[in-house]
């Protein structure tokens, strides 16, 4: 998980490295000698730039969509937990108190254990145990009235949804871009910047500005993808605010 300083450092190194490469080319292959090849270089740069822009845009869209899906899934998991707590009001004792206590424990565990463990690439297990206890509590009920039968059916449905959302969260926590895609992104960005460096221009200042701008944009996009592609890691990630709200709702009832 990269910090803000590390991200800034990576972007800075990428920009400086691109400029140093450009200055090296200009020294050993002067721009006036490259201008006769500008038509060929410009055509190649256009193809490379367009292709890489499509790839980069698609990757950004994909990781951002995955982050949004993970955020929505966490909200749905917390909503299912609150529904379980509310439906428990209809149950007789001791199932009612037991189930509501487990629901509160689940929200506290999600905030204080699940999220920190997922941030450390660990698989949370405490919430799974609590979920299993909730199932046992509901299935042990021998409904004596129609309202209890209805509540039990709804509780089983909500517990099924809660468990599915939890499994989705664990799968999303472990998901990441394959190495082959990172290879495509890094090689594509390098080739695009190199092609821009080989373009022969009359103004060294203009070329410096163009190469610096291109490398800055590419490195920023790559850093953004690296921060977003794992929804529960990095600077931009799914927060535990949904379970904090759920815990507060259950305390206020």
The predicted pLDDT at position 175 comes to: 85
Q: Percent helix, strand, coil in the chain (nearest 5)?
A: 85, 0, 15
Q: Are 52 and 253 in contact (CB under 8 A)?
A: no
The predicted pLDDT at position 2 comes to: 65
The per-residue DSSP string of 143-177 comes to --SHHHHHHHHHHHHHHHHHHHHHHHHHHHHH---
Q: Which is more confident, 198 or 156?
A: 156
Mean pLDDT of 101-114: 94
CA–CA separation, 157 and 80 (whole Å): 9
Mean pLDDT of 96-102: 92
pLDDT digit string, tens, across residues 190-244: 999 988 888 777 777 888 888 899 999 999 999 999 989 889 987 888 999 999 9
Question: How many Cβ atoms sit within 10 Å of the Cβ of residue 122?
Answer: 12
pLDDT at residue 35 greater than cutoff 80: no
| Range in 64-73, 78-87, 101-110, 244-253 the model is least confident about | 244-253
List strand residue ranges (DSSP E) for the chain, in order: none
The predicted pLDDT at position 253 comes to: 66
pLDDT digit string, tens, across residues 162-196: 999 999 999 999 888 899 999 999 999 999 998 88
pLDDT digit string, tens, across residues 66-81: 999 999 999 999 999 9
Q: What is the mean pLDDT of the chain?
A: 89
Confidence of residue 1 (pLDDT cuts 50, 70, 90): low
């Amino acid at each position: 998980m990269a910090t803000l300083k590390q991200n800034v450092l990576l972007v800075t190194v990428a920009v400086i490295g691109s400029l140093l490469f450009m200055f090296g080319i200009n020294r050993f292959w002067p721009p006036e000698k490259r201008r006769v090849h500008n038509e060929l270089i410009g055509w190649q740069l256009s193809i490379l730039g367009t292709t890489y822009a499509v790839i980069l845009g698609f990757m950004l869209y994909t990781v951002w969509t995955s982050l949004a899906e993970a955020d929505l899934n966490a909200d749905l998991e917390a909503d299912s937990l609150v529904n379980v707590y509310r439906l428990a009001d209809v149950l007789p004792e001791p199932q009612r108190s037991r189930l509501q206590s487990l629901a509160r424990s689940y929200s506290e565990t999600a905030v204080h254990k699940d999220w920190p463990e997922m941030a450390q690439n660990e698989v949370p297990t405490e919430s799974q145990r609590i979920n299993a206890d909730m199932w046992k509590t509901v299935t042990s009920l021998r409904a004596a009235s129609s309202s209890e039968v209805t509540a039990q059916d709804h509780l089983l449905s909500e517990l099924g949804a809660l468990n599915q959302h939890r499994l989705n969260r664990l799968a999303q926590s472990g998901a990441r871009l394959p190495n082959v895609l990172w290879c495509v992104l890094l090689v594509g960005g390098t080739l695009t910047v190199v092609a821009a460096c080989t373009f022969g221009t009359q103004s060294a200042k203009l070329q410096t500005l163009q190469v610096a701008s291109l490398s800055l944009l590419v490195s920023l996009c790559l850093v953004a993808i690296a921060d977003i592609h794992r929804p529960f890691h990095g600077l931009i990630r799914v927060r535990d605010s949904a379970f904090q709200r759920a815990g507060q709702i259950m305390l206020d009832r």
